[in-house]
């Protein structure tokens, strides 16, 4: 279940990057190569993705080891509570349901995108309970799910077959080479 929900979450972020200005603006502010990881637990399903020029690229969790920011839920149950809309990310943070590796600022950028995606994917009854502010939709929930299904059928969310270096490691190498 966790892998499916992470896939739909990623697909929602990709589709909303195309049609919702808030998500587009947030993602466009990320540096090229910025790599995120969402993990359902230490040994559970994981989602790695990175910004590659003007789009997102899903990375294979069996190959990918590096990231700039990673949110790891303490258990599959804690992950399912957040990913299925029974608990908000802010409530999970207050309950210490996940650990954060990386920069808090970049994690907040990701959670702002996830909040907008959740406001589209979940019914208003659920989003009012888990989000501080329910984002105004630019398309309907059914339209977004349809876009996700069409994208999945086209193979738009396939994984990269090679390991990618995250943004910070690139910067460190670049600085090292310059000195």
Give me the DSSP letters along 76-87: HHHHHHHHTTSS
Whose structure tokens read 């969310």?
Answer: 157
**pTM of full prediction above 0.95:** no
CA–CA distance, 28 with 7 (Å, rounded to integer): 21
Whose structure tokens read 């943004």?
Answer: 167
Over range 154-177, report the average pLDDT. 64
Over range 136-146, report the average pLDDT. 90
Mean pLDDT, the chain, as a whole number? Answer: 85
Q: Is the Cβ–Cβ distance between 37 and 170 less than 8 Å? A: no
CA–CA distance, 118 with 38 (Å, rounded to integer): 15
The confidence score (pLDDT) of residue 168 equals: 65
Which helix (DSSP H) or strand (DSSP E) does residue 66 occupy?
Answer: none
The band of 126, judged by pLDDT with boundaries at 50, 70 and 90, is: confident
């Amino acid at each position: 279940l966790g892998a499916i929900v992470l896939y739909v979450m990623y697909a929602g972020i990709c589709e909303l990057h195309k049609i919702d200005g808030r998500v587009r603006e947030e993602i466009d502010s990320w540096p090229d190569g910025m790599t995120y990881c969402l993990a359902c637990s230490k040994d559970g399903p994981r989602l790695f993705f990175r910004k590659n020029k003007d789009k997102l690229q899903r990375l294979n969790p069996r190959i990918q080891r590096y990231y700039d920011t990673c949110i790891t839920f303490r258990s599959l149950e804690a992950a399912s509570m957040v990913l299925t809309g029974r608990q908000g990310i802010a409530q999970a943070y207050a309950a210490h349901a996940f650990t954060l590796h990386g920069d808090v600022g970049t994690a907040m950028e990701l959670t702002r995108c996830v909040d907008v995606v959740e406001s589209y994917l979940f019914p208003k009854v659920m989003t009012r309970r888990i989000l501080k502010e329910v984002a105004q939709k630019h398309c309907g929930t059914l339209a977004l799910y349809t876009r996700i299904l069409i994208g999945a059928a086209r193979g738009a969310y396939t994984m990269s077959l090679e390991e990618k270096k995250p943004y910070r490691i690139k910067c460190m190498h670049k600085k090292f080479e310059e000195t």
